[in-house]
Structure 1
Amino acid sequence: MTEQALTDKVVASFDTAKDDRFRELIQALVRHAHAFVRETRLTDGEWSAAIDFLTAAGHITSETRQEFVLLSDVLGISMLTVAVNEPGLGEADEATQSTVLGPFFVQDSPEIELGGDIAGGAGGEPSWVSGRVTDTAGKPVAGARIEVWEADDDGMYDVQYDHGTLAGRAHLYTDAEGRYRFWALTPTPYPIPHDGPVGRLLQYAGRSPMRAPHLHFKVTAPGFHPLITHIFVADDPYLDSDSVFGVKDSLIRPFTRHDAGTPTPDGREPEGSWTSASFDIALKKE
Structure 2
Amino acid sequence: MPSPIVCLFLLLGIACAQFVPGTDTGNGHQDGCSVTPGDDLGPYYVPNTPVSRTMCFGTAEDDYMFVKGTVYDVHCHPVHGANVEVWQADKTGLYFDDRCRVQFTADQQGAFSFVTTMPGKYKLGYYYRPAHIHYRVTAHGYREVVTQQYFSHDPSLGVNDPCGECNSGSAELILDVRAPTADDLLQIAQLVSFPVNKVVEFNPVMSH
- Fold-level similarity (TM above 0.5): yes
In structure 1, C-alpha distance between the alignment counterparts of 2:69 and 2:185, rounded to whole Å: 19
Q: Could you say what secondary structure the match of 1:158 adopts?
A: coil
What residue in structure 2 maps to residue 270 of structure 1?
194
What residue in structure 1 maps to residue 28 of structure 2?
none
Shift of 1:256: 2.2
What residue in structure 1 maps to residue 51 of structure 2?
111
Is the CA contact 1:146–1:220 (under 8 Å) kept in the aligned structure 2? yes
Shift of 1:281: 1.1
Matches within 5 A, 1:31-70: none
- 1:175 pairs, out of 94, 107, 112, with 107
Q: Could you say what secondary structure the match of 1:243 adopts?
A: coil
Shift of 1:89: 10
In structure 1, C-alpha distance between the alignment counterparts of 2:149 and 2:116, rounded to whole Å: 12
What residue in structure 2 maps to residue 143 of structure 1?
81
User: Which residue identity lines up with residue 249 of structure 1 in the other structure?
Assistant: A
What residue in structure 1 maps to residue 127 of structure 2?
209
Give the number of the structure whose alpha-carbon radius of gyration is greater: 1
Is the CA contact 1:189–1:238 (under 8 Å) kept in the aligned structure 2? no
Is the CA contact 1:118–1:170 (under 8 Å) kept in the aligned structure 2? yes
Is the CA contact 1:263–1:270 (under 8 Å) kept in the aligned structure 2? no
Matches within 5 A, 1:1-286: 94-112=34-52, 116-119=53-56, 121=58, 124-159=62-97, 166-192=98-124, 199=125, 208-240=126-158, 241-245=160-164, 246=166, 247=168, 248-257=170-179, 263=185, 265-267=187-189, 270-271=194-195, 274-285=197-208
Is the CA contact 1:186–1:255 (under 8 Å) kept in the aligned structure 2? no
In structure 2, C-alpha distance between the alignment counterparts of 1:264 and 1:125, rounded to whole Å: 19
Is the CA contact 1:95–1:284 (under 8 Å) kept in the aligned structure 2? yes
Poorly superposed stretches of 4+, deviation over 6 Å:
none
Q: Which has the higher contact order (CA 8 A, sep 6+)?
A: 2
Shift of 1:102: 0.6
Q: Could you say what secondary structure the match of 2:172 adopts?
A: helix
Unaligned runs of 5+ residues in structure 1 are 1-87, 160-165, 193-198, 200-207
In structure 2, C-alpha distance between the alignment counterparts of 1:232 and 1:264, rounded to whole Å: 25
Aligned sequence identity (%): 26
In structure 2, C-alpha distance between the alignment counterparts of 1:89 and 1:243, rounded to whole Å: 29
In structure 1, C-alpha distance between the alignment counterparts of 2:128 and 2:42, rounded to whole Å: 14
From the superposition, tell whether residues 137 and 89 of structure 1 become closer, same or farther in structure 2 (CA, over 3 Å): closer
Q: Could you say what secondary structure the match of 1:265 adopts?
A: helix
Question: Scaled by the length of structure 1, what TM-score is found?
Answer: 0.54
Number of matched pairs = 170
User: Which residue identity lines up with residue 119 of structure 1 in the other structure?
Assistant: C
Shift of 1:276: 0.8
Unaligned runs of 5+ residues in structure 2 are 1-21, 25-31
